[in-house]
């Protein structure tokens, strides 16, 4: 390569000229932008003044301004959003992973505040509150007929304060009185975690909050203590959350100082890079890994799946993921509300931006567009940018994470509208709670329950009678054609009553085609990761 001598004086002058020119151009660009914003704001204010003077009714300016903000953000992209003040605190709780209260999952059934499940380790569990308990009084005041929205205001409160509740429990003639001292309640991001057999673990993560990786580490250690040798990591319906938690989770399976994800801002320059060991980790696992994804897997869950796929560390199984590759930053507003504005796009280690196209689509159209098998067809893939994994396997950008093995979810129910009606009224819960109370002998072992307990035709008829009593409108044919699925749901709900969410998923996964396929693919997962 030839070298040329440069005049240093000329070089310095050129740098100064370029700097001055760049400053002037940048100043002009920002001036033009500011002028454009000012013009549009003046237009908006003019419309508001006209509405104030001439509109036929009084204007609700809170609703009008929030509507204007929502409309502006929707025109930018589907993920820039306005958050009303009343939802900001709720969102903080969801992503901080904790709140202060008594610790129950609840619903209002037939006017009664009903305990769906006490949260493990909470004051409610420690005092013995149980699924199916009906809270009829709080601090001596009747709450029969209470709305769902009112419940948190009565039960949440500062740690150390006390709330008195009166409970009706099936099989008990007299109400039970509890004085519950509020505490910090974790909002778990783990849906379920258990050993499938003597070597296979299952772990489902429902979102990425501040406590997710801490919870995952605890669950992995429990499973490893039970001799787990391979893992199914279920990220289906995981809509995302904190990016750094996704990076930390991926780092539990990807060794070295490897790039997990990077972002580019509006200038297309690399804005941030995140590495597998950046936040510290409790050791890297090297057993075979399969990650389940579907159209509900988005954002942070796609970061994990994308990194696992790009480094050939595990096998991705299921359906095409959602395709959200936009990064939002939340900005507080003066009245306690907030906006989340897209500030960058994120990219997987191979260079994929997995954000799917949203230009020219309204928000409803964007969310209703369902990734399906057509997204993996040759016609679809030829229009998407091609990349390669570390070992040379082709992967595609521009439309979510394409699974290594496509498996449709299938539809177990033949009468989904009926199932929706029964679920909304929580009739599966009602029947399971009543039945479990009458048959405590079924709580011997989960494996024995799975293998030897079956819902009989007589029990199904009892359930049908309950549905009629609760005024659910359906035809016998509609109910009878879904008999097998109804039996599965009832059995799973009874298992939930005995063994919490682990029991429910242990039963339902037996009829899950994506999960069942995953169990047969560990040989391939081991091969692509070059594991011994």
Q: Which residues are catalytic?
A: 299, 310, 324
Contact 218, 120 (CB under 8 A): no
Q: Are strands 98-101 and 183-186 parallel, antiparallel or unpaired?
A: antiparallel
SS3 (DSSP) at 384:
coil
What number of CA atoms fall less than 13 Å from residue 281's CA on the CB side?
23
**CA 307 from chain center: how many Å?**
18
SS3 (DSSP) at 346:
strand
Torsion of CA 503, 507, 512, 515, to 10 degrees: 60
Contact 520, 196 (CB under 8 A): no
Length of the chain: 532
Q: Which residue has the tokens 């769902």?
A: 148
With CA atoms as reference, report the closest residue to 312 among 107, 531, 465, 161.
531
Alpha carbon of 343 to those of 27, 329, 498: distances in Å? Answer: 21, 7, 46
Distance, CA of 202 to CA of 209 (rounded, Å): 20
Distance, CA of 317 to CA of 478 (rounded, Å): 33
With CA atoms as reference, report the closest residue to 251 among 298, 216, 211.
216
Distance, CA of 371 to CA of 402 (rounded, Å): 10
Tokens for 241, please give them: 């959350």
SS3 (DSSP) at 426:
coil
Tokens for 84, please give them: 């009303």
Burial category of 224 from C-beta neighbours within 10 Å (exposed 0-12, middle 13-18, buried 19 and up): middle
Alpha carbon of 282 to those of 141, 182, 220, 243, 288: distances in Å? Answer: 49, 32, 11, 19, 18
Distance, CA of 142 to CA of 505 (rounded, Å): 36
Distance, CA of 262 to CA of 266 (rounded, Å): 14
End-to-end CA distance of the chain: 46
Distance, CA of 297 to CA of 323 (rounded, Å): 8
With CA atoms as reference, report the closest residue to 493 among 444, 426, 447, 445.
426
Phi and psi dihedrals of 109, rounded to 5?
-115, 120
Distance, CA of 290 to CA of 303 (rounded, Å): 15
């Amino acid at each position: 390569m030839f070298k040329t001598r440069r005049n240093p004086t000329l070089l310095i002058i050129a740098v100064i000229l370029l700097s001055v020119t760049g400053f002037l151009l940048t100043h002009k660009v920002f001036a033009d932008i500011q002028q454009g914003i000012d013009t549009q704001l003046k237009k908006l204010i003019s419309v508001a003044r006209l509405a104030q003077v001439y509109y036929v009714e009084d204007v609700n300016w809170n609703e009008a301004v929030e509507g204007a903000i929502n409309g502006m953000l929707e025109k930018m992209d589907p993920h820039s959003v306005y958050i009303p003040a009343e939802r900001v605190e709720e969102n903080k709780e969801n992503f901080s992973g904790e709140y202060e209260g008594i610790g129950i999952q609840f619903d209002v059934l037939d006017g009664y505040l009903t305990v769906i499940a006490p949260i493990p380790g909470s004051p409610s569990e420690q005092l013995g509150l149980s699924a199916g308990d009906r809270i009829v009084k709080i601090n001596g005041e009747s709450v029969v007929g209470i709305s769902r929205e009112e419940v948190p205001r009565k039960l949440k409160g500062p740690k150390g304060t006390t709330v008195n509740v009166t409970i009706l429990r099936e099989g008990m003639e007299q109400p039970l009185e509890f004085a519950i001292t509020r505490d910090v309640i974790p909002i778990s991001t783990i849906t379920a975690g258990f050993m499938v057999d003597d070597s296979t673990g299952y772990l489902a993560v429902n979102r990425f909050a501040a406590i997710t990786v801490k919870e995952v580490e605890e669950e992995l250690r429990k499973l490893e203590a039970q001799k787990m040798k391979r893992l199914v990591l279920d990220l289906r319906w995981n809509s995302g959350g904190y990016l750094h938690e996704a990076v930390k989770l991926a780092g539990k399976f990807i060794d070295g100082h490897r790039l997990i994800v990077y972002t580019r801002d509006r200038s297309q320059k690399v804005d941030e890079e995140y590495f597998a060991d950046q936040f510290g980790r409790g050791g890297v696992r090297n057993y075979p890994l399969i990650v389940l994804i579907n159209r509900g897997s988005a954002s942070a869950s796609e970061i994990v799946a994308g990194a696992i796929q790009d480094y050939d560390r595990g096998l991705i199984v299921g359906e095409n993921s959602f395709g959200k590759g936009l990064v939002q930053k939340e900005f507080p507003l003066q009245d306690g509300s907030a906006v989340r504005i897209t500030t960058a796009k994120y990219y997987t280690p191979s260079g994929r931006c997995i954000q799917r196209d949203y230009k020219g689509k309204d928000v409803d159209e964007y969310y209703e567009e369902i990734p399906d098998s057509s997204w993996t067809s040759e016609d679809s893939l030829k229009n998407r940018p091609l990349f390669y994994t570390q070992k040379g396997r082709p992967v595609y950008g521009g439309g979510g994470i394409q699974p290594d093995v496509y498996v449709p979810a299938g539809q177990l129910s033949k009468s989904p509208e009926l199932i929706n009606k029964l679920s909304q009224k929580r009739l599966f819960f009602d029947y399971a709670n009543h039945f479990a109370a009458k048959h405590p002998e079924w709580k011997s072992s989960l494996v024995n329950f799975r293998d030897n307990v079956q819902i009989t035709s007589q029990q199904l008829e009892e359930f049908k009678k309950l549905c009629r009593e609760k005024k659910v409108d359906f035809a016998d044919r509609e109910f009878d054609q879904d008999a097998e699925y109804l039996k599965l749901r009832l059995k799973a709900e009874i298992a939930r009553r005995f063994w919490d969410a682990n029991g429910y998923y242990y039963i339902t996964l037996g009829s899950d085609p994506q999960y069942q396929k995953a169990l047969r693919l560990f040989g391939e997962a081991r091969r692509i990761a070059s594991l011994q």
